[in-house]
Chain A
Amino acid sequence: MTNIDPDQIKVILATDCGSTTTKAILIQYVDGEYRQTHRGEAPTTVEKPFADVTMGVVNSVTEIAELADRRLVDDDGRIISPATDTEGCDIYISTSSAGGGLQMMVAGVIAEMTAASAKRAALGAGSIVMDVIAANDGRRPHDQIQRIRDLRPDMILISGGTDGGTTGKVVQIAELVAPAKPQPRFGSDYSMPIIYAGNKDAREAVSEVFDEGGFDLQIVDNLRPVLERENLGPARDKIHDIFLEHVMAQAPGYEKLMSWTGAPIMPTPGAVGDILQTVARLQDINVVGVDIGGATTDVFSVFEKTFNRTVSANLGMSYSISNVCAEATMPNVLRWVPFDMNERELRNHVKNKMIRPTTIPQTREALMFEQAVAREALRLAYKQHKEFATTLKGVQQQRTVGDTFSQQTSGQTIVNNMTLDLLVASGGVLSHAPRMHQTAMMLIDAFEPEGVTMLAKDSIFMMPHLGVLSSVHPKAAEQVFDRDCLVYLGTSVCAAGQPKAGKSCFKYELTGDRTASGEISGGEIQLLPFEEHETGTITLSPARGIDLGEGAGKKVQRSVRGGTVGLILDGRGRSLTLPEERSSCQATVQGWLDALDVYKEETEPVGV
């Protein structure tokens, strides 16, 4: 890793090697601030026949070089660094999710405690967690062993026990893993890396278990030294190290790529998490980010400085579309579609999309259906996220007699839509929606934000690049994130509570670059024009029982920011309920879509 003074960095080149495309961006220091100036794309070249990831990287960088008219790759096909005035870059950084990303198996003693912490550490580091083995996961030991045997993870993280806590159980877990002899995914010649991050008293015993059998045991600090505190840092760092040393080194061409980069290569989702954390820290806000892909949906959140990430495997828009429909059930998907569809045909369409994942909706009806599926996929993914992002479990509670009738268990979700400040969307169906209004509507319907929330989308999926950049130059990362990465859709003002249909829900008064005032009634959603770069202050007076951020019926004043969509005033209530009856449901949804001008015909469509 090269150590460069952040102030000296003027030209930054970043790539993200995805499983299908390699995306490169160029960030330059222009007029006193960092801006993303050019981007390039090329197919990823990890698999045969190319089998060298750097080819894709060089191709994408060459595209940038042409656009920027700046030589970035030398004649030997290497990226030029450091930069001179006319060529090269000061630092080159990269992320990778090629080859399915980082896949891990984690184990702990209790599923809700140390195993959950281990999962959090693994997810936070950007890996996919294939399975969680715990003493109480309900499986018999031989089933667990069979499962470990069947999985081919890149590495295994074992935790368990507080410091000074159980030794026996931790060793038992180790005794499950060792005889199962899990095989690493790539190459049979390297030994399976195992990270032990459990009870420090059990280290010796665990080492003995993994003494033979071709394991590479690494010991780090306990990630749950006491049940009241989580210490995920050391385990996360170790995962990154192993990712680079073992996993990446096995993939074709990565060794070369690693020698080029000025900062360690990160798994793509880990980098996305990093940029969101950086932004949340620098701006002191709560952020939720979502990346909906073809197979999986990642949800990231930073609430009260606590970062969480979940991967909802099998909730996606192409490979997993059929699973979304099965999990959410067809009626739940169809409630967002304001017209009748033939269910049998629809089911076949869904399956055809599953087996031919690259097709795109051609008609408006197909698009509306796909976006309905997206709403459900996001809703389910966010639900899973809320269930996972909790306070620690197994913690002693302090009570007073006043708590007699209000006892709550620990492990409540820390996700609070009311305190959410920024909701960032990325992933095909959200960022490539023909109209931004559709993206905004999908976000509001699926995430049901409450109070005043800023909506944004990642313009060209730049977050991974900025995540790595944030580890080198947080300031530059934040500037680019704010100015170029995010496309602000607008601000949503959503009433929590159950407003009565037709009765007043809240009154608003907007001052600043634009003035407006009015009233939103229950069940109604409205769009106020409020353009990008416009700011203002909104004063909200909710009706009785309606909460907009300060408590039921309390007046709220917030500064708001415009966007490509505008200011969305939502009086539909939370949780959002749609009429059961099909025809009135269609009418309701159609009303909402019309109010927000979601499916406007912009140009004469072709081929319909």
Chain B
Amino acid sequence: MAKAYTPGLLVTRHKKHRIMRRLPISGDVRVKINDQVNAGDIVAETNLPGNVHPVNLANQMSLPPADVVACMLKAEGDAIALDEPMAQSKGMFGMFKNTVKSRFEGTVETISPVTGQVIIRGAPLPVQVKAYMSGQVVSVSEHEGCEIEADVAYMQGIFGVGGETQGKIRVVGSGHDQELTADLITDDMAGCLIIGGARMTVEAIQRAREVKAAGIISGGIDDQDLKELLGYDLGVAITGRENLGITVIVTEGFGEIAMADRTYAMLREFEGRVASINGATQIRAGVMRPEIIIPLESVPPAANEGQFEEGQLEAGRLLRVIRDPWFGMIGKVSDLPAKPHVLGSGSKARVLEVTFPSGEKAIVPRANVELIEE
């Protein structure tokens, strides 16, 4: 094999992007095919069944479970208010009646003669699904959701925390290798997506949160800073549900590492535009990477997407080493030896030779590089 498949992160100036917006359970879809939607629009909504509260009436009334049904003042399906009498015992000679009031509000779902348990279901919880990406509705599945499509510029990050949000792109700092520090963030950045260069500090993230920025994107982050931000040491890279009030996306990795030139240039180009971002990352089977989506008003002319086939490792391609000792360095493939090499660790692996801009050459296992799409 003269070529090897080494996928990198997708960073593209133009892509027809289609997203699926689904309800967790069936409900109402509020858009029609061909509707134009904005990122913040609600496209579907439903009510989740409310929380369930089991009440053990048999014990509360000192009754055998089978007798509970006869004592109920409410039937299955009845609505019940807080402190409303729910059941009453027969008492003795019509006296000493024991009444149990409901401690929950909702509807009586079931009355079990086996357990003596009454299940009250609370008020339904409304769930709304937003469009997330501005675009056109291209398909609607009734009661389930819809698909939205748009022409976008699309960038994948390597890792993120926090969920879906959108905001205006705002580049701070002077270049792709400048560290993103707190002093670069100003009060007028509320609702913005702050774009930095290299490593972002935890102070910068905190500051961005203070000014109510929607998101913050940069090349790298220190593990220690991430731990401080989350309040715990992240064990498994499954994120997206954190409640930080800000979405954080790292495009390259952990440590002091600059954002890839191309990504930075693209973000700079789109400065001022509204983008949708999602920090959700899942690195398991079915990989999910954080994304930055910038809807385009007009489709750019088909640019020369490079002379290389996507994902193919060939001599001359630009790549990034993603493991020490040359972690983060960018170079060009100069040779692809066919035979496996013995590494410093003693293992045998297929390698490639990379030439760094300084002219220095190095042998790196193919598993430890990532292509940079040009």
Direct contact of A and B (CB under 8 A): yes
CB closest chain-B residue, reference A313: B236
Assess the B284–A319 pair: CB atoms within 8 A: yes
CB closest chain-B residue, reference A326: B233
Binds B, one of A171-179, A402-410, A514-522, A542-550: A171-179
A347–B225 alpha-carbon span in the complex (Å): 11
Q: Distance in Å from the Cβ of A151 to the closest Cβ of chain B?
A: 13
Assess the A362–B109 pair: CB atoms within 8 A: no
**Residue A512, interface by CB 8 Å:** no
Assess the B285–A99 pair: CB atoms within 8 A: yes
- Name the B residues within 8 Å of A146 (CB-CB): 51
Assess the B115–A168 pair: CB atoms within 8 A: yes
- Name the A residues within 8 Å of B234 (CB-CB): 322, 326, 351
Assess the B114–A167 pair: CB atoms within 8 A: yes
A604–B344 alpha-carbon span in the complex (Å): 8
Assess the B283–A606 pair: CB atoms within 8 A: no
**Residue A363, interface by CB 8 Å:** yes
In the complex, which of the residues A181, A366, A435 has the most CB atoms of chain B within 10 Å of its own CB atom? Answer: A366
Binds B, one of A353-361, A486-494, A529-537: A353-361
Assess the A362–B255 pair: CB atoms within 8 A: no
8 Å CB contact of A607 from B283, B344, B367:
B344
- Name the A residues within 8 Å of B121 (CB-CB): 179
Assess the B322–A359 pair: CB atoms within 8 A: yes
**Residue B343, interface by CB 8 Å:** yes
A352–B252 alpha-carbon span in the complex (Å): 9
Binds A, one of B126-134, B171-179, B210-218, B345-353: B345-353
- Name the A residues within 8 Å of B185 (CB-CB): none
Assess the B236–A352 pair: CB atoms within 8 A: no
8 Å CB contact of B345 from A100, A344, A345, A363:
A363
- Name the A residues within 8 Å of B222 (CB-CB): 344, 348
Extra 13 A-B pairs, beta carbons < 8 Å, given A314-B236, A367-B346:
A47-B286, A142-B53, A168-B65, A171-B115, A172-B54, A175-B54, A326-B235, A344-B223, A352-B255, A355-B159, A356-B370, A367-B347, A606-B363
8 Å CB contact of A322 from B112, B233, B342:
B233
A319–B288 alpha-carbon span in the complex (Å): 13
**Residue A599, interface by CB 8 Å:** yes
**Residue A281, interface by CB 8 Å:** no
Given contacts A168-B114, A320-B235, A323-B235, contact A360 B323 (CB under 8 A): yes
Assess the B117–A175 pair: CB atoms within 8 A: yes
**Residue A138, interface by CB 8 Å:** no
Sampled A-B contacts (19; CB under 8 Å): A20-B285, A168-B65, A169-B115, A171-B112, A171-B115, A172-B54, A175-B115, A179-B49, A205-B114, A319-B283, A355-B237, A356-B158, A356-B322, A361-B343, A362-B368, A367-B347, A432-B347, A602-B346, A604-B342
**Residue B253, interface by CB 8 Å:** yes
- Name the A residues within 8 Å of B349 (CB-CB): 360
Given contacts A19-B285, A172-B117, contact A606 B342 (CB under 8 A): yes
Interface residues of B in 314-350 (CB under 8 A from A): 322-325, 327, 341-349
8 Å CB contact of B237 from A344, A354, A362, A602:
A354
Assess the B342–A356 pair: CB atoms within 8 A: no
CB closest chain-B residue, reference A178: B110
Q: Distance in Å from the Cβ of A181 to the closest Cβ of chain B?
A: 8
**Residue A603, interface by CB 8 Å:** yes
**Residue B52, interface by CB 8 Å:** yes
Interface residues of A in 137-181 (CB under 8 A from B): 141-142, 145-146, 167-169, 171-172, 175, 179-181
8 Å CB contact of B283 from A355, A363, A434, A599:
A355
Q: Distance in Å from the Cβ of B108 to the closest Cβ of chain A?
A: 12
Q: Distance in Å from the Cβ of B125 to the closest Cβ of chain A?
A: 11
**Residue A33, interface by CB 8 Å:** no
CB closest chain-B residue, reference A206: B114
CB closest chain-B residue, reference A605: B344
Bits for A360-400, please: 1 = Cβ < 8 Å to B, else 0. 11111011000000000000000000000000000000000
8 Å CB contact of A348 from B49, B109, B223, B285:
B223
- Name the B residues within 8 Å of A589 (CB-CB): none
**Residue B365, interface by CB 8 Å:** yes
- Name the A residues within 8 Å of B364 (CB-CB): 362, 607
Assess the A361–B115 pair: CB atoms within 8 A: no
8 Å CB contact of B119 from A179, A327, A347:
A179
Assess the B236–A320 pair: CB atoms within 8 A: yes
Bits for B67-97, please: 1 = Cβ < 8 Å to A, else 0. 0000000000000000000000000000000
- Name the A residues within 8 Å of B223 (CB-CB): 344, 347-348, 350-351
Q: Distance in Å from the Cβ of B341 to the closest Cβ of chain A?
A: 6
Assess the A358–B367 pair: CB atoms within 8 A: yes
Closest 10 CB pairs of A and B: A323-B235, A434-B346, A367-B345, A605-B344, A607-B363, A348-B255, A608-B344, A347-B223, A348-B254, A351-B254
Q: Distance in Å from the Cβ of B233 to the closest Cβ of chain A?
A: 4
Assess the A352–B115 pair: CB atoms within 8 A: no
In the complex, which of the residues B114, B158, B281, B365 has the most CB atoms of chain A within 10 Å of its own CB atom? Answer: B114
Q: Distance in Å from the Cβ of B136 to the closest Cβ of chain A?
A: 23
Interface residues of A in 306-327 (CB under 8 A from B): 314, 319-320, 322-323, 325-327
**Residue A295, interface by CB 8 Å:** yes
Given contacts A352-B327, A355-B283, contact A360 B347 (CB under 8 A): yes
Q: Distance in Å from the Cβ of A569 to the closest Cβ of chain B?
A: 24
Interface residues of A in 90-146 (CB under 8 A from B): 99-100, 141-142, 145-146
CB closest chain-A residue, reference B234: A322
In the complex, which of the residues B281, B327, B345, B348 has the most CB atoms of chain A within 10 Å of its own CB atom? Answer: B345
A172–B119 alpha-carbon span in the complex (Å): 10
8 Å CB contact of A352 from B54, B322, B325:
B322
Interface residues of B in 346-374 (CB under 8 A from A): 346-349, 351, 362-365, 367-368, 370
A325–B285 alpha-carbon span in the complex (Å): 22
- Name the A residues within 8 Å of B114 (CB-CB): 167-168, 171, 205
Given contacts A175-B115, A364-B344, contact A142 B254 (CB under 8 A): no
Bits for B236-270, please: 1 = Cβ < 8 Å to A, else 0. 11000000000000000111000000000000000
- Name the A residues within 8 Å of B98 (CB-CB): none
**Residue B137, interface by CB 8 Å:** no
- Name the B residues within 8 Å of A351 (CB-CB): 223, 226, 234, 253-254
**Residue B224, interface by CB 8 Å:** yes
Q: Distance in Å from the Cβ of B64 to the closest Cβ of chain A?
A: 11
Assess the A607–B343 pair: CB atoms within 8 A: yes
**Residue A503, interface by CB 8 Å:** no
Assess the B158–A364 pair: CB atoms within 8 A: no
CB closest chain-B residue, reference A346: B223
- Name the B residues within 8 Å of A361 (CB-CB): 323, 343, 345, 347
A172–B114 alpha-carbon span in the complex (Å): 9
Assess the B344–A362 pair: CB atoms within 8 A: yes
